[in-house]
Structure 1
Amino acid sequence: MSTLSVPSTPAARAADPRPAVLPPDLTAALRARLSPAAVLADGAVVRAAENADVAAALRADRRPGVAVAVRGPGRTDAGARALQVDPAGLAGVRVSPAGWARVGAGVRWRDLAAVATRHGLTPITGSSAAERVADTVTGGGVGPLARTYGLAGDRVRAVEVVTGDGVLRRVTPADGADLYWGVRGGGEALGVVTAVELELLAAGPRYGGELRWQAADGARVAQAWRTWSVALPPQAGTSLVLTRPARGEGTVAVRFAWTGEADDGDGLLDVLRAAAPPGAADLAPRGPAGLATPALEAGVESSLLLDRLSDGAVAELVRAAGGSRPRTVEVRLLGGALGWVPQRPSAVCHRDARLAVRVVGGAGAEDRAATRACAEELAGALGGDLGGRVPAHGWGAAPDVLARTPTPAVRDRLAALAALADPHRILEGAAGRRA
């Protein structure tokens, strides 16, 4: 059994620049309940050193108007009256040669992969190796190998979570089954995750990376990707990324992941090379953490889920990426194992979607409005391809695309669970689930 404690980053340890916003009596009560290694920064951010610190934060915060939110990469900013819990210090990794791992809520996929590799094992990651494992699990978890192995959340054996009533629970398919269902894909409405246990796979051949072109080749590459991607086997994952930067020329990239021998995977890309010679390539054998794509630039994101890309859709996507403001438009191929009935159902919806479109723009007010307008225009132009699904707006990197717009049945079930798990209605993520 291997164990690693991953240190928090300087950014994670840096003081929050906001002024203290919590009432003085709440701040004093909370300080008294935290462990000696925990830190309460600026009276508003609990940097947890152990699970008990998370429980202390939720138990101390029992008054109207003060919510609790999880702090970290990919999370939306907490409101002015929110107490933030930073789990970066919960950074332990334990990998069993039997093929599973327990990771603290501050652990990222690249940290887990580094330890698992020593045992000839590998995780099924989220979309980015820089994501925290816990964030991926609560947000769904569509990673680069999802078409082959399903969601990262489908590999979870157990979740340790502090619910809104301040109780630390370990939930599994057999113990706390409803909460186990909801935490995976249900966001932060049910509690603050402190650790996750998940299954690992035997390491095997993996290949991938990306091909890149200039914006002038965008239409040809996008059209070729549209017809090429439809015929890909489940062993292949891919996305088309159209980027208009703030400065310089735009680019087009095709990201590719293959769960097999390098030669077989590379041969599939010849169709794209024939459409337009790429200007650059970064393709190599690599592990799943290496296949996980770089995170898109920080900003505000809208997303659409599609059944198909019909005639004319490619022109609309290229037009959207070439707007007046810097933005990225990514089209991700879904299907394969994502559409199969999972052994352990979760709150993740829309597994039948075939493609996901993400529009990512800047965080300024005008950029936020432009991003939303761009996604709405795309939804109008591609209306028949959406299968009745509605766009999702204002999300960061988590939750993932399949978990952003729960169906009415799933939303109602999550709301009922939240009413039990969070009786004082203090969790920041609960508001949207109860709407």
Structure 2
Amino acid sequence: MPPPPPSATAVLPPDLEASLRGRLSAGATVRGAVVSVAGVADVVAAVRLAGRHGVAVTGGGDGARGLVVDVDRLDGLSVSAGGWARVGAGVRWRRLAAAAARHGLAPVPGTSGDERVADAVTGGSVGLLARTYGPASDRVRAVELVTGDGVLRRATPDEEPELFWGVRGGGAALGVVTAVEVDLLAAGPRYAGELSWAGDDAARVLEEWRTWSAALPPQAGTSLVLVRRPAGEVAVSVRFGWTGDPGDGAAVLDGLRGGVRPARDDVGVRGPADLRGVAGPAAGVESSLLLDRLTASGAGHVLRAAAGRCAPRTVELRLLGGAVGWVPERSSAVCHRDARLAVRVVGGTGAEDRAATWACAEELSAALGPDTGGREPAHGHHRSPDVLARTPTPAVRDRLAALATATDPHRILEGACRGRPPVPVLGTGGRPACDG
């Protein structure tokens, strides 16, 4: 199990902790302000107690404040031969892919094999296969969650349809997810993996990738990652996935390989349970922005951002388009599907690193100017929500707010206050306030 989030060091008032422990099952644990639930009833009990005492509920992560509901032990998983799976909130893509493969099926994964499936659903995750099949949130049949009023709800296109729209891409603002049901595809081989080059080739590889990726068909997904090493040099890698015939994918990738010979090449035919090439860059405090295009001068700005003295650890360019931009069968809260590229800027968790990450994204946004399409950069988020769901349009934001008002009367859930989690007022019976 991963280490407890930072809020584990927080302490609930003794009377509130005792009350919470008295409502949980024997298998649940409380450490600091982190509740590791053993079942769905524990989630209901924790959220109801939080609402009664005006305590914010968060999903953990850097800077998490309030009562953290840890759902990792909600790890039930069943795969139906009918082409779908029921997945507990603690299940990761890697485990789902392995289970589905035994039935000749495969999921459409999010940005990383180690990402929780439920987080990808609520965060609108855009993985390496999204240009063919759409974001992970498009492949959902049902979501079960405990909303801020402490009610366990099941949202489907026919049952709680408005909640079904909002929870897919609406992030953590609408409830604590306990399980999701996702569609699966007939399994087949994929051509996927990663190419790596020496840092001296970064400028050439970036220019080659920029022109090559602009003409890719929807069967191809790719991202370019610039990583600043501790000594200051920049390493470059390209992730590639192809959903069609592997031979055709190899021919397409040769268009990039032929420009600058990679130092390392592990792209090959993968089975449905092999998620190599799907893994995203290292987690951390991040900012992101969306682009309509990337010009040669814009690529230069990206490279300088990755190589600067106060640069973040990672700058990723992720190709969008294809099925990401198509109108889905079931609409969701995922916005900005017309964007062509996403820039993800990841830094460390310290105050100075966070400031440098934010400043880098703001400088990039200013330098790229019209290519952003007027979209504002998003700051301070982790992998969930993903790049398209971090800055809702005004119409989507208002619709999500109306949903939150109806299902979270005490406004205790993380994300209820736009941009930052609520600040907990522990044990006072007061209502959480928005910070700033």
Tell me the TM-score normalised to structure 2 length.
0.92
Match status 1:55 vs 2:39: no
Equivalent AA in structure 1 for residue 293 of structure 2: R
Select which of 313, 321, 325 maps to 2:306: 321
Matches within 5 A, 1:277-292: 277-286=261-270, 287=272, 290-292=275-277
Following superposition, the deviation at residue 362 of structure 1 comes to 1.3
Corresponding residue number in structure 1 for 2:219? 235
Corresponding residue number in structure 1 for 2:347? 361
Corresponding residue number in structure 1 for 2:14? 24
Residue segments in structure 1 that go unaligned for 5+ positions in a row:
1-8
Q: 1:369 to 1:17 in 2, by over 3 A?
A: closer
Contact 2:6 2:64 in 1 (8 A): no
Q: Distance in 2 between matches of 1:163 and 1:92?
A: 20
Residue segments in structure 2 that go unaligned for 5+ positions in a row:
421-433
Select which of 279, 297, 310 maps to 1:294: 279
Corresponding residue number in structure 2 for 1:244? 228
Equivalent AA in structure 1 for residue 284 of structure 2: G
Select which of 360, 384, 397 maps to 2:370: 384
Contact 1:143 1:292 in 2 (8 A): no
Percent identity of paired positions between Structure 1 and Structure 2: 64
Corresponding residue number in structure 2 for 1:3? none
Equivalent AA in structure 2 for residue 144 of structure 1: L
Q: Distance in 1 between matches of 2:208 and 2:5?
A: 48
SS in 2 for 1:298: coil
Matches within 5 A, 1:268-283: 268-283=252-267
Following superposition, the deviation at residue 275 of structure 1 comes to 1.9
Equivalent AA in structure 2 for residue 296 of structure 1: P
Contact 2:36 2:70 in 1 (8 A): yes
Select which of 6, 27, 34 maps to 1:37: 27
Corresponding residue number in structure 1 for 2:56? 67
Alpha-carbon RMSD across the aligned residues, in angstroms, is 1.7
Contact 1:145 1:288 in 2 (8 A): no
Corresponding residue number in structure 2 for 1:407? 393
Task: Report the more deviating stretch, 275-284 or 148-157.
Answer: 275-284
Contact 2:233 2:307 in 1 (8 A): no
Following superposition, the deviation at residue 220 of structure 1 comes to 1.1
Corresponding residue number in structure 2 for 1:140? 124
SS in 1 for 2:383: coil
Following superposition, the deviation at residue 297 of structure 1 comes to 2.3
Match status 1:153 vs 2:143: no
Q: Distance in 2 between matches of 1:347 and 1:229?
A: 27
Corresponding residue number in structure 1 for 2:82? 98
SS in 2 for 1:384: helix
Q: Distance in 1 between matches of 2:214 and 2:162?
A: 36
The size of the alignment, in residue pairs, is: 419
Deviations 1:280-317 (A, max 9, x none): 11112123651453342232111010000124111111
Corresponding residue number in structure 2 for 1:430? 416
Match status 1:180 vs 2:164: yes
SS in 1 for 2:153: strand
Tell me the TM-score normalised to structure 1 length.
0.93
Equivalent AA in structure 2 for residue 41 of structure 1: R
Corresponding residue number in structure 1 for 2:429? none
Deviations 1:334-381 (A, max 9, x none): 000011100010000000000000111111111111111111111111
